[in-house]
Amino acid sequence: MEKKDNFTVLIEKLERMEQLQKIDASVVKILDELIENCKEAERFWVESERTPVDISFLLYHSTRNSRLVLEKMKNRFITATKKNENPHVIADSIEIVPILSELYEATLSLKERPITPEILSFISNRLKLLRNMAHKVSMMPSPEEEIAEIDKAKFKKRFSHFAETLQAMFIEA
């Protein structure tokens, strides 16, 4: 029997919670695993030397945004569980998890296959959709949350390299 991926398990749990109108705290463990998977993917795209910097940045950005939304979702489930709140987080999660799953799977698949402009466009569009949906369902991190864990020196160095790459591209064009 094939093992189900975490997004499939998460979707099944969310559907079950929706039927019961009761939060299942075990969803936090699944979210923790998904968050760790995203962190690994972030590291991969930051350290990837075979992928151009501009492409790595988009893939890192999409994975990081997915992780931040998952962390926000996890915090909302923890809060709802502690306070026995009306489980709006279930319906909100059901809306956003398919987008998260699709974006994560698409980004993950690029570790092993060629990256085409069409795939990059798909990822960029899905990332925009994710951010819009996250905002709609109150799972969009605040700007402060988005920059809180960024190593400023490392970011400045990587961004400088990225800017130099863009400048070189414009000079060549």
The answer as to whether 151 is a domain residue is no
User: Which residue range forms the structural domain that includes residue 18?
Assistant: 6-141
Write out the DSSP string of 69-104.
Answer: HHHHHHHHHHHHHHHT---HHHHHHHHHHHHHHHHH
Contact 162, 53 (CB under 8 A): yes
Q: How many distinct structural domains can be found in the chain?
A: 1
Q: Would you place residue 155 in the very low, low, confident or very high pLDDT band (cuts 50, 70, 90)?
A: low
The answer as to whether 100 is a domain residue is yes
Give pLDDT tens digits for 3-25.
569 999 999 999 999 999 999 99
85: domain CATH number is: 1.20.120
* Cα 104 from Cα 109, distance rounded (Å): 9
Q: Would you place residue 85 in the very low, low, confident or very high pLDDT band (cuts 50, 70, 90)?
A: low
The answer as to whether 133 is a domain residue is yes
Q: How far is CA 65 from the centre of its chain?
A: 4
The answer as to whether 162 is a domain residue is no
Q: Mean pLDDT, the chain, as a whole number? A: 87
* Cα 45 from Cα 6, distance rounded (Å): 21
Give the alpha-carbon dihedral of 141, 125, 154, 145, to 10 degrees. 0
What pLDDT sits at residue 56?
92
Return the residue matching tokens 């099944």: 12
What is the token pair recorded at 126? Answer: 């899905």
Q: Would you place residue 49 in the very low, low, confident or very high pLDDT band (cuts 50, 70, 90)?
A: confident
Helix (H, G, I), strand (E, B) or coil at 26: coil
Return the residue matching tokens 């749990």: 13
